[in-house]
């Protein structure tokens, strides 16, 4: 993953999808990819860390992608990993992005609980985000956390909102 982080130097790359599912990228590899925030041409980024032994540190590092001046569409998959409330709180910082309009976060079978759900609900305050897809299938969010997530509908600019809350 560290070698792939040099893709930020590409002068023509607009779309990048990297699927690391069922590997051992770990937090260090995910953290290296946070350097993609420096790309000035990358508009669409999809990173899949499903079943990769990543934890809150990886999500915290990748939340720095909010500083990108180019990324408009972002998909991050952390399914079946050790990410929890701290990761959700870090990822909620995407509300501060000046360019992001489409965000997909897959936290399926994670350790996210109500505190993480409350943090993710703050994405409704984004000034640029109009499409949000949150997958929390099989996480540990109670009715209280789900209520917070339902409040995402209060966003004034969301056009599309998809919440996967099965088996909570």
The contacts found for 67-70 with CB under 8 angstroms, 24 or more apart, are 67/37, 67/97, 68/36, 68/37, 68/38, 68/39, 68/42, 68/97, 68/99, 68/100, 69/40, 69/98, 69/99, 70/39, 70/40, 70/41, 70/42, 70/43, 70/99
Cα angle for residues 121, 157, 134 (degrees, 5° grid): 40
Q: Residue ranges of the alpha helices (H) in 2-142?
A: 26-33, 56-62, 85-91, 114-121
Question: Could you say which residues of the chain have pLDDT below 50?
Answer: none
- CATH number of the domain that 40 lies in? 3.80.10.10
Q: What would the pLDDT profile of 116-157 be if each residue is shown by its tens digit? A: 999 999 999 999 999 999 999 999 999 999 999 999 999 989
Q: Which residues contact 120 (CB under 8 A, 6 or more apart)?
A: 88, 91, 92, 105, 112, 134, 148, 149
Q: Please tell me the distance from the alpha carbon of residue 10 to that of residue 105, in angstroms, as a whole number.
A: 25
pTM over 0.85: yes
The rounded distance, in Å, linking the Cα atoms of 58 and 138 is 20
- With residue 149 as reference, give the H or E element that holds it: helix 143-150
| Residue 55 domain boundaries | 4-164
How many domains, in total, are found in the chain? Answer: 1
Tell me what pLDDT residue 10 has.
76
Which pLDDT does position 2 carry in this prediction?
64
Phi/psi at 149 (5° precision):
-65, -35
């Amino acid at each position: 993953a560290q070698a792939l982080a040099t893709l930020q130097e590409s002068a023509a790359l607009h779309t990048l999808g990297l699927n690391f599912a069922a590997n051992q990228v770990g937090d260090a590899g995910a953290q290296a990819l946070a350097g993609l925030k420096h790309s000035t041409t990358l508009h669409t980024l999809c990173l899949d860390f499903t079943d990769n032994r990543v934890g809150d540190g990886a999500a915290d590092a990748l939340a720095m992608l909010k500083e990108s001046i180019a990324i408009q569409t972002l998909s991050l998959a952390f399914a079946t990993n050790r990410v929890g409330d701290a990761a959700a709180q870090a990822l909620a910082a995407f509300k501060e992005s000046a360019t992001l309009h489409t965000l997909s976060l897959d936290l399926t079978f994670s350790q996210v609980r109500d505190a993480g759900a409350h943090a993710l609900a703050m994405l409704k305050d984004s000034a640029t985000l109009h499409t949000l897809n949150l997958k929390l299938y099989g996480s540990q969010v109670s009715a209280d956390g789900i209520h917070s997530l339902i409040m995402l509908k209060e966003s004034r600019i969301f056009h599309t909102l998809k919440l996967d809350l099965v088996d909570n």
